[in-house]
Amino acid sequence: MLRKLIAPARYVQGANALQALGEEIKALKLGTRVFTLADRRVLEIVQSKIEQALQAAGIEGSFAEFRGECSKQEIMRLKELAEKEGADVILGAGGGKALDTAKAVAYYAHKPVVIVPTIASTDAPCSALSVIYTEQGIFEEYLVLPRNPDLVLVDTAIIARAPVRFLVAGMGDALATWFEARACAESRAKNLPGGDSTLAALNLAQLCYETLLEDGYQACLAVERQVVTPAVERVVEANILLSGLGFESSGLAAAHAVHNALTTLEETHAYYHGEKVAFGTLVQLVLEGRPLGEIEEVLEFAVSVGLPVTLADIGLGEVSEEKLRKVAEAAVRPGETIHNEPFPVTAEDVLAAIIGADALGKDFKGF
Ligand SMILES: NC(=O)c1ccc[n+]([C@@H]2O[C@H](COP(=O)([O-])OP(=O)(O)OC[C@H]3O[C@@H](n4cnc5c(N)ncnc54)[C@H](O)[C@@H]3O)[C@@H](O)[C@H]2O)c1
Ligand SMILES: [Zn+2]
């Protein structure tokens, strides 16, 4: 099989990086009329900063409010607005849903896309993928895009002022990356562009995990005080760049399949993507029969930053075995990434691993 690696064309990160937005767009010759989409809360944070940065580079800017769901209707509504404005660059600012919407709008409008994450809550910013939902918020499909974003620009001063729970959720999404990459490498499963992984992607995935262990706790303390330290810079890079390249160019496995299955239970909806992925990671390690020492390292990290390690931590303290069995069945649906594990996986195996992971989490927390 051919080895393949995909990545954004340019990645820029740092405190007040937004000031360099216009220059970076100019350097890449992306265009001169930028259409920004973001929800109301995010517009309040970034609109004037974007206006100033574009103006300084002689680029025109227009803005539209994103209504909160990455649905086909919302994508088409914003695409029409962008075309009416005569935009030649699409910019998305915010969390995973706004960024996925901007990528899809740019794809349908045949324009380049600039991604400005204002929280480091997922590894969505760098990928050539949009996760599409219905207007009601139910998962619909993965829209696989032909190219990664043209520019990902991450202002860590903005990210450090957002609630710390977003950064922690991003660490949950990033926690899975190395373990899923390792499973895919062992089974020679295809990565997202349909190739074998590379030394580069596998090592970035491993570095992602090591960075979380080294800097995660310190980064949380800093972001609770809304400051950017070197640990914050490294964790933001791990959550956004290392995890993004790692998952896309090495592949997903059980952790994300368990996450997807958990979303079928209403009780988990109040928890962020990365929080459910963190518990899915523990389930994957139990499913793979990993040594206790390795699992305890993950538990210790997760508990130190406040990531879920038990079913109760993701709203499922009182869940029946029947419901868990449904989750296990959903996790092994055909096409799910759990089949990238290097051994066949049944619903029975997943159910046992969920119960086993919950028991380890409870034991570790001392109840
Ligand atoms: N495309 C991919 O590769 C990929 C990868 C992982 C996850 N995802 C998708 O990402 C989505 C989840 O993203 P999410 O967890 O970021 O949630 P989200 O995008 O739904 O919500 C983010 C929330 O944070 C708020 N927010 C943003 N910036 C803020 C700031 N600076 N201060 C305060 N609040 C701020 C927004 O207003 C919004 O309410 C899911 O749809 C998931 O499918 C996609
Ligand atoms: Zn994820």
Residues 277 and 192 both lie in one domain? yes
* Inter-CA distances, 231 with 73, 76, 95, 125, Å: 40, 39, 21, 20
Residues 329 and 185 both lie in one domain? yes
CATH number at residue 311: 1.20.1090.10
Residues 319 and 206 both lie in one domain? yes
Q: Which of 273, 313, 349, 358 is catalytic?
A: 273
98 assigned to a ligand binding site: yes
The C-alpha atoms of residue 124 and residue 130 are separated, in whole angstroms, by 8
Mean pLDDT calculated for residue range 51-66: 98
Helix residue ranges per DSSP H, the chain: 21-27, 40-56, 72-84, 96-109, 156-161, 164-187, 199-224, 230-237, 243-250, 254-262, 273-287, 292-305, 321-331, 347-365
Residues 146 and 217 both lie in one domain? no
- Contact in structure between 173 and 130 (CB atoms under 8 Å): no
256 belongs to the catalytic site: yes
What's the first-to-final CA gap in the chain, in angstroms?
48
CA Rg value for the chain? 20
Q: Which residues fall within 8 angstroms of residue 118, CB to CB, at 6 or more apart?
A: 38, 42, 45, 46, 93, 94, 95, 155, 158, 159, 162
Domain boundary among 131, 160, 189: 160
Residues 85 and 44 both lie in one domain? yes
* Inter-CA distances, 147 with 72, 249, 358, Å: 19, 13, 39
Residues 110 and 196 both lie in one domain? no
Mean pLDDT calculated for residue range 207-216: 98
Residues 335 and 218 both lie in one domain? yes
Tokens of 345: 């996986």
DSSP helix/strand/coil, 99: helix
Residues 148 and 219 both lie in one domain? no
Residues 97 and 188 both lie in one domain? no
Residues 116 and 176 both lie in one domain? no
Domain boundary among 130, 160, 190: 160
pLDDT of 302: 98
Most ligand 1 atoms within 8 A of CB, residue of 37, 71, 100 to mutate? 100
Take atom 38 of ligand 1 and give the residue whose Cα is closest: 95
For residue 55, the enclosing domain spans 11-160
User: Amino acid letter at 181?
Assistant: A
256 assigned to a ligand binding site: yes
pLDDT of 367 over the 80 cut: no
Take atom 6 of ligand 1 and give the residue whose Cα is closest: 124
pLDDT of 129: 96
Mean pLDDT rounded to a whole number for the chain:
97
Residue 6 lies in a domain: no
Residues 168 and 92 both lie in one domain? no
Helix residue ranges per DSSP H, 148-290: 156-161, 164-187, 199-224, 230-237, 243-250, 254-262, 273-287
pLDDT of 349 over the 90 cut: yes
Q: Which residues fall within 8 angstroms of residue 115, CB to CB, at 6 or more apart?
A: 8, 91, 92, 99, 102, 103, 125, 126, 149, 151, 152, 153
pLDDT of 243 over the 90 cut: yes
Q: How many domains does the chain have?
A: 2
Take atom 23 of ligand 1 and give the residue whose Cα is closest: 95
Residues 49 and 92 both lie in one domain? yes
Tokens of 279: 């518990």
DSSP helix/strand/coil, 302: helix
ipTM: 0.99
The rounded Å distance from CA 247 to ligand 1 centre is 17
Low-confidence winner among 95-99, 134-138, 250-254 (lowest mean pLDDT) = 134-138
Residue 4 lies in a domain: no
273 assigned to a ligand binding site: yes
pLDDT of 137: 78
